[in-house]
Amino acid sequence: MNIRDSVAFVTGANRGLGLAFARELLARGAKTVYAGVRNPNGIDAPGLVPVKLDVTDPASVRAIAARCSDVTLLINNAGIGPANTGALDPTLIDSMREVFETNFYGLVRASQAFAPVLARNGGGAIINLLSDATWFARPVLTAYSAAKSAAWSFTNALRIELRGQGTQVLALHVGYIDTEMSKDVDTRKSDPRRVAARALAALESGSEEVLADGQSNTVKASLSTEHPYYLNPPPMG
């Protein structure tokens, strides 16, 4: 898919990777970039078209898909940070519900709502933000990792189903990104601008999956070995 002259919709575009995606899209010549956010008044980035969106609200998602009927590229970026609850934490199920509502069901809702829009506009593409945590889970990432694993599975099914309408589906895997969400995490982090640029370059090359950092490459490469990363990840830092 070509970014130039495309019409993009980015969920969670008010900061972090979502804002980096929006700016990179404009830099690459996108005709229109809708910034889907809960509070449109919080958007202060020239060239973006802010629209109110709550991915946890089915009616909100449907209404926006109907309003933004010219979209050719959907970027499912909206998400909330990891809930610091371990596998045996009695609050885990409540934490999981909160994380899944945004990070998984929100992605599903947006994909389902915009898929017919993309079909009417020639196919287009979807980028789903996943994670290296798709393939392994530290205890404090139990809820977050489960949601990302579910999102990966959905993305793989969605890709196959949408090929018939000519829609490219790209899975973006990346570890910690240097954003407000991860400010308290002491580990190596990727520049959100580089992640966005790498993902869009992969999209334009026709790829269906991109591993945007060394961590994601390391984790995935280990999956079929005798010592997969997820069995014994090293300490953070």
> How confident is the prediction along the chain (237 residues), in pLDDT tens digits per residue?
999 999 999 999 988 899 999 999 999 999 999 999 988 887 777 889 999 999 999 999 999 999 999 999 999 999 998 667 889 999 999 999 999 999 999 999 999 999 999 999 999 999 999 999 999 988 888 999 999 999 999 999 999 999 999 999 999 999 878 756 544 555 576 789 999 999 999 999 999 999 999 999 999 999 999 999 888 877 655
Residues with catalytic roles: 144
pLDDT for position 111:
98
Q: Give the DSSP H or E segment for 102.
A: helix 92-103
| CA separation for the pair 174, 212 (Å, rounded) | 5
| CA separation for the pair 159, 128 (Å, rounded) | 11
pLDDT for position 39:
87
Conformation bin of residue 47: beta by default, left when phi > 0, alpha when psi is -120 to 50: left
Question: Per-domain residue ranges for the chain?
Answer: 7-231
pLDDT for position 182:
45
| CA separation for the pair 200, 186 (Å, rounded) | 28
Model pTM score: 0.93
Number of helices followed by number of strands (H, E) in the chain: 7, 7
Of 179, 51, 34, 53, nearest to 106 (Cα)? Answer: 53
| CA separation for the pair 28, 139 (Å, rounded) | 39
Select 7-231's CATH number: 3.40.50.720, 3.30.1230.10, 3.40.50.10600, 3.40.50.1820: 3.40.50.720
pLDDT for position 189:
65
Tokens encoding 218? 């390391």
